[in-house]
A and B are shown apart, each in its own frame.
Chain A
C-alpha cells in the first residue's frame, strides 16, 4: 500500500486515476483510519489531500462560502461569518465526535463516507449545499445529496474527489438548526438527526423551508412533505404537530443495535419540532 501526499489537485487526480486496485482519499482520516484497522480492509493507494494548496481554506465569495475539502470541523466553528450565516451546519459539524476528532475531521469526509447517520449531511442538505467534484474528466458541481447512494456507497467515479463544499449566502431572515439524538452526550452516533432551514417573510411567516432527516433511511431524506407543513405558518402548535407527524412519516428506519423503528420514527418528530423552533427563533421569528 502506497501513501501519497500531493501538493496539487492535478497530481491527486492523476494518482487516483492511474492506480490499479483500490484507492482512497484521506482527509481527516477519522473514518478511514478506523476502517484501515479492520482485517477486511485492503487498499493499494492512500492519497492524503491535506497538503493540496487551498484545500484547507474557507473562501468567502459574494454569493457563497467555499469550504475546502480538507478544512477541519473545528475551523468551521471558529469562522464567525460562517457561523452567523449557517449556525445549523456549524453546530452539526461541531457535534462530530469530540474536540480531538473535530481537529481532524471534515464535512467532505463526513459526506463521502456515506454513513446514513453522518451528522453534518442533513444540515448541508437542508442548507442547499453543493459539492464541487474534480476528476479525470474535469470539474462538476452537484447537490450534496447526490453523493451518498447508500451505506458506504457514493456516486463518485474512479479518480474523482470532492474539492470543496459550497454553501450559498443565505437570504435575509433565514436560519438553520440541527439536532440529533444520541444516548450519550458525545462520542456517539446519531440514532436520528433532523436539520431545518427556514426563510421568513417580513411578518414572520415561513416563506420557504427545507427539512432533512438523517439515520432514518439508507441515505439522508429531504422531505418536501415535512417542509410543506411549515410554509405560511408562524410555527403555531398545529403546524409543529403536523411537522412532527410528517417527519415521523418520512422516516423509514430499521430496527438495529442503535434504536428501534418505533423509537426512531417518534424521535424524528420530536427533533423536527425542536429544530424548527430553534431555526425560527434564530431567523428572528417571534
Chain B
C-alpha cells in the first residue's frame, strides 16, 4: 500500500506528552532480562583466550591439553571458523577480528575459545592452550602509524583514493576528499588566518552492560541466539554469513540493552559462541568481562586533525580546510571519511576542502560511537572557530551566526540543505540566559556547534488488534532509549486510542521482516514511519469491517478520533464504532485485524545542536569542574520530550567525559594499561551538573510528524564546548583531548616559562 510520508501540520493529542515507559517497571525492579540473564538447559560456559601482544604472528596453537581437561566440551581456533567471506573485505575483517587467523593484531585479539561445564573449568582450560607467538613490531599512535618508517600492519594495504596508486604498502588505507570552491583563492582574500593542529585520544562507548549471548546450534542446521545487541537482524546476517547458516534458520532474539551507543552494532562474541555450540553440540553462554570489553570491543578512533580557516575582519569565512587522520584499528574502514564529511557541515562556505586519511594501528577494531567520527572533527573545527573569533575580536556566537548554513546552503560534503536547525539553535543560544550569566573566578565559558546526518533505512512493523481492542505493536528496531514508549505514542496518535491500550515489543528475527539496526539515530524516526503506515493500514481494515457491520459501502466510512463513523446524513442514526466495538466482532467480519508495514525510511533530516558550557579550572592542579551546561538541539518533533531530553543529556555527559578524562592508555609494549572503570575515567554523577536542555522543533519535511533523529548529535559539540571553556578559563589553548589535569597543568607551566 502506498504511504505518504510528507509532513502534515496537525493538532496532536498523544505525541508530545510524557507517559511512563512500558519497560520502566521491569528495569527498576531488576526483572528486565539483559544479555546475561538468559539460560538454556545443558548450557556450557565459554571463555576466550586473547593475545597479550599488540602485533604477533601466530606460529602454532596447541589445544590438545585443554581438550583433554575433564569438563571441557569444545575448544575452537580460527580453523573452526573457515573463511566463507568470498572476497568481501569488510566481512573478512569481522571474521578475523572474532578470531585471529594468522596474526594477532592488537592486545586482546581473540586467538582461541573454550566451552566447558562451568566457569572454573573454562578458566583452567584457557591456561592449558599453548600459543607460540612471533612478536612483531607494533604501532598504536595515529601519527606514528602514518609515517613512512612505521611497521606495516597489513602488507596488502595500498592507500586508495590517491593517484597514482602507491607501489608500496603502508598503514594509510584510504584518502577521501570533499569540498567545493577554490580554497587558495579564498585564503588569498582572508585578512585573518587561524591554522592549528589537534589531537584526540581513543575512547570507549563505556556501556554498563558487557557483551553477552547464549548460542545454540542444532544438528539439523537450525540455531538460536539470545543476545544483547542494537540490531538482531544484522547480527543474524553476519553470523549466518560467517558460519555458513541459512539466514532464516538462525533465530536471533535481542535482550534488553544496558547501553550500546554504537558499540553493539558489531559482532565479536556471537560467532564464537555459535561455533563453540556447533562443536560441542550444546548451548553456550558467552559473557565478556569488563577487561575484555575494553581490550577487544568498541572503541572509537584516535585522531590527529589540522584545520585552517581564513576570514575577513568583519567575520565572513573566506576559506576553510581540514586534514583528518583517524585510526580504524587494524582493519581499514571509513571513519576518516565520515569525519571529513562532517567537519564543516555547520557552515555556509564558498571555498572548503576536507581530506580524510584512514590509518590502521595495532588497536582494537573501531566500532561506531554515537555520531561516529563527528565529535573529533567538531572539536578541531569549533576550537579553531573560537580562536578566529578571538583574533578578530568578534563574539563567538555572532561569528557562527554570520557563517551558519541555512536552507539552500550547499553542504561541504555535497548535498544542498532543506530546512535545518543550525541557525535557530544559534539564535536560541545567543538569547539564552546561560550566555549572559556572570562567571566567577577561574571560570570560563565555551560554546560549540555540532552536526549529524541521521539515517533511515529498512524497517518493518506489525500492529495487531486484539479481541478486546487493545493493540500490540511489534517493532524490529531495538529500544535503546525509550522508543517503545515513543512508538506507542505514535500508534495512539494515528489510531486515536489511549497510550495505555498499546503494548510495544521488540520482535525477534523469526517473527518480523528485516530491520536495519538501531543506529544513525534511526530507531524512532524509521520505526515511527513504519508504525504510522501500519496503523493506517489497520484503520483501512477497520473501516472495511465497520462497513460490513453496518452493511454500507466502505467509501462511506471514515475514521476520526479512534472511531469509525458513517459519512453523510443518510446514516444519521448510526452511532460510531470504536476499535473495541470493531475488534469484538472481528471473528464474524473476516477474522483477526492487523496492520503491516515494510518500507525504506528515506529522508532522515539532518540534525544540529549548539552547546554552552561553563567550567572552573583550578590553576594550581589543573582540575576542571563543569559548572553549568546547556544543550540546544533541533528534534524535528519531540515525540516523547523526556526521552529526547535524556538523549541530549546522555550525549553531553559522554562528550564531557571524553573531553576531560577518558582515554585508552597504551604502554611501550602496546598493551592497554587501563582496561577498567577505575582508570578509564568516565564521569560519575557527582562530576556533572544538571544538564539543561532546550528542544527546538523544526519539522523534517519527510516525516508525517516532522521527526528527526535525536540520539547522536548531542555528543558532537561537547569536546569543543568544554575545550573552549577550559581554554578561556585557564587562559591557554588546549588542543589535545582529553584535557586531563596533567595536560592542563603542563600547558599552564609551559605558558609561564615562555
Contacts and interface: CB of A to CB of B under 8 A. Distances in A.
A263 B741 contact: yes
A216 interface: no
A48 to B, nearest CB: 21
A260 B665 contact: no
A181 B678 contact: no
Contacts of A187: 684
A258 B620 CA distance: 18
A22 to B, nearest CB: 16
Given A183-B660, A183-B661, A186-B686, A266 B745 contact: yes
Contact of B742 (A189, A260, A270): A260
Given A39-B123, A257-B673, A270-B621, A181 B741 contact: yes
A186 B684 contact: yes
Given A263-B741, A270-B620, A270-B621, A256 B673 contact: yes
Nearest to A255: B742
Given A183-B681, A184-B681, A257-B665, A263 B746 contact: yes
Main secondary structure of the interface of B (DSSP, over half): loop
A111 B111 CA distance: 39
A61 interface: no
A271 B679 CA distance: 22
A248 B289 CA distance: 39
Contacts of A184: 661, 681, 683-684, 686-687
B589 interface: no
A18 interface: no
Interface in B99-132: 123, 126
B312 interface: no
Interface in A90-149: none
Contact of A267 (B289, B621, B660, B674): B621
Contacts of B123: 39
Contacts of A258: 679
Interface in B652-685: 660-661, 665, 673-674, 678-679, 681, 683-684
B687 A263 contact: no
A183 B623 contact: yes
A11 interface: no
Contacts of B661: 183-184
B174 to A, nearest CB: 32
Contacts, number: 57
Contacts of A185: 625, 684, 686-687
A97 to B, nearest CB: 10
A259 interface: yes
B196 to A, nearest CB: 24
Main secondary structure of the interface of A (DSSP, over half): loop
B673 A263 contact: no
A151 to B, nearest CB: 15
Contacts of B686: 184-186
B740 interface: yes
Contacts of A84: none
Nearest to B47: A39
Contacts of A37: 289
Nearest to B738: A183
Nearest to A181: B621
B746 A262 contact: yes
A121 B16 CA distance: 55
Nearest to B618: A270
A188 B745 contact: no
A256 B742 CA distance: 11
B129 to A, nearest CB: 13
A39 B673 CA distance: 17
A263 B742 contact: yes
Contacts of B674: 257
A155 B272 CA distance: 46
Contacts of A39: 123, 126
A181 B622 CA distance: 10
A79 B750 CA distance: 46
Nearest to A264: B742
Contacts of B678: 188-189
B752 to A, nearest CB: 12
Contact of B741 (A183, A189, A256, A271): A183
Interface in B481-538: none
B355 to A, nearest CB: 33
A267 B748 CA distance: 13
A263 B745 contact: yes
Contacts of B745: 262-263, 266-267
A189 B679 CA distance: 8
Contacts of A262: 742, 745-746, 749
Nearest to B677: A187
B213 to A, nearest CB: 20
Nearest to A266: B745
B675 to A, nearest CB: 10
Contacts of B740: 183
Interface in B627-662: 660-661
Contacts of B621: 181, 267, 270-271
A70 to B, nearest CB: 24
A257 B676 CA distance: 12
B478 to A, nearest CB: 29
A257 B679 contact: yes
Nearest to B124: A39
Nearest to B745: A263
Contacts of B684: 184-187
Contacts of B746: 260, 262-263
Interface of A: 37, 39, 181, 183-189, 191, 256-260, 262-263, 266-267, 270-271
Nearest 3 CB-CB pairings of A with B: A263-B742, A185-B686, A257-B673
30 contacts: A37-B289, A39-B126, A181-B621, A181-B623, A181-B741, A183-B623, A183-B661, A183-B741, A184-B683, A184-B686, A185-B625, A185-B684, A185-B687, A186-B686, A189-B678, A189-B679, A256-B673, A257-B679, A259-B741, A259-B742, A260-B742, A262-B745, A262-B746, A263-B741, A263-B742, A263-B746, A266-B749, A267-B620, A267-B621, A267-B745
